[in-house]
Amino acid sequence: MKIPSILSDKILNSIPRDRERRSIWQGDHLTLTEVDGTLDFDATKMSLDDHLVRFVTLPKLFDLLGKKRLVLSRLDQHIKGDPFECQARRSYANISTKELKKRALALRKYIMKIAPLSGGDHGCSESWLKNLNLKDTSANDLKAITWRLEQEALKRQLAFVCWCKGSDSSDAMWRVYGKHGAAIFTSVSRLKSSLLKVAVPKVCARDVKLALASVEYSNDSEYDEPWLLKREAFGHEKEVRLYCDLPLTKTAGTEIRVSVPTLIQKIELSPFAEFWECTAIRSATTALLEKAGAPHVQVCQSDHMRPPSNLLPSDEKMVREVMKKVFPPVSY
C-alpha cells in the first residue's frame, strides 16, 4: 500500500483549510490527466499465457466496447457487494513498535487531509482521529489501530477490476449473471498489451503502477495482502484482480483506456438467453466491436447448457424444457 510517501508532507501541508482556496488547490492538483507510454505493470505472480474470463452485465460490456475502457472500482464500492472485503488484518509481524507508531500517525494525518478530497467522510470519528494518543498503547492495540487507519485509507485509494482464471465455462458465474450476462475471454499477455492510458489525478501521475494477482480463498483473520483474500465460500470465482493503489482515487474509480482488438479474444453470451435475445445482443455487440476496430472478434452464445449432440431431436427438445424448469436462470 502506498501511503503519504507519494504525497509528501510538503504537498499535504499545502492543502488549504479554507473551502474556497481548497477548491482552487484541487483544480491545480487533482485534475485528471492521462498517463500513457509504457505503463508500469506487475504480473510477476501470473504467467503471460494464463487465460482470463471476465463475466459482466450487458451495460458493462457495452461500456467497455463503446468507450474502450476498463473501470477499476474503488474498494469501498466492492465492499457493498461483500462486506468482508479486505477485513483480514495485516499482522505487521516485521515492523517495530516505533515504526508502527510512525505509520499510524502518518496514516491519521493522511486520512484527515485526503479522504474529504477523494469523496466521502473519514470513515472514522473525526474526534477520535484528532485525539488519537499512542503513547501508552499496547502492542496488540497499536496493530489494531494501525490496521483500522490503513483499511480506511485503502477503501478510498485501492481500485480493481475482477477476472476469472482459466478458459472454461463456469456454471456458478453464469447463474449469477443470468440471461443478460456475457463473458469476455482474454489472456494475461493480451491484457497487458491492451493497456494504453490511465486517468489519474495530476499530482499522482508519476506514481502509477498496475498489478495483476490471483485471489487466495481462506477464512483466516490475518493476511499480508488482505485485498487479495476472500472467504472460501467464493472459491468458485477463481478470481484474478487487476488493481491500482493510488491516493486521491475518485469515487467513480480509475479509468484505463484499452485497445479492444488486442484485449478481447472472444465474447460469449449467456447460455440462458432465448434465441431472439441472443440475436439482438449479438447484433448490438458486433456493431460496437466494428466501431472499436475489432470486427474479427467472435461473438456467440455459450454452449454450457447445450444438450449432448448424440440425442434424438425429440429428446433434445425434452431436455431443454426440463432444464428450464429444474434450473431456472438466477439473476441478481
pLDDT in single tens digits along all 332 residues of the chain: 544 444 556 667 777 777 788 788 777 777 888 888 678 899 988 999 999 999 999 999 999 999 999 999 999 999 998 999 999 998 888 889 999 998 898 888 888 877 666 665 556 777 777 778 888 888 899 999 999 999 988 888 899 999 999 988 889 999 998 889 999 999 999 999 999 999 988 888 888 889 999 999 999 999 989 999 999 999 999 999 999 988 778 888 899 999 999 999 999 999 999 999 999 999 999 999 999 999 999 999 999 988 776 655 555 555 566 555 544 554 43
Beta bridge partners of 20: none
Judge contact between 45 and 214, C-beta under 8 A: yes
* Residue closest to 208 by CA, chosen among 37, 70, 79: 37
The angle at the Cα of 155, spanning 151 to 160, to the nearest 5 degrees, equals 120
Sign of CA dihedral 308, 183, 177, 269: negative
Amino acid at 166: G
CA distances from 289 to 58, 258, 268 (A): 14, 13, 13
The Cα–Cα gap between 152 and 154 comes to 5
